[in-house]
Chains A and B, each alone.
Chain A
Amino acid sequence: MTHAGYLVAGWGISLVVLGGYALGLVRRGRRLAPRVPVDRRRWIDSPGSDRG
Chain B
Amino acid sequence: MRPILLKGHERPLTFIKYNREGDLLFTCAKDHHPTLWYGDNGERVGTYVGHNGAVWTCDVSDDSSTLVTGSADTTAKLWDTKTGECYFTFEFDQPVRAVALNAGGTQCAITTDPFMGVPSAIHIVNVNLGDRAAQRGEVVKRIEGPQGRVTRVMWGPLNKTVVTGGEDGIIRSWDVETGDVLKMSQEHSKQIQHLVMSDDGSHFISASLDKTAKVFDSETLECLKTYSADRPVNAAILSPIRDHIVLGGGQDAMAVTTTSSKAGKFDSKIYHKIFEEEIGGIRGHFGPINALAFNPDGRSFTSGGEDGYVRIHPLDNSYFEIP
Whether both chains belong to one complex is answered with no
Interface residues of B (CB under 8 A from A): none
Interface residues of A (CB under 8 A from B): none
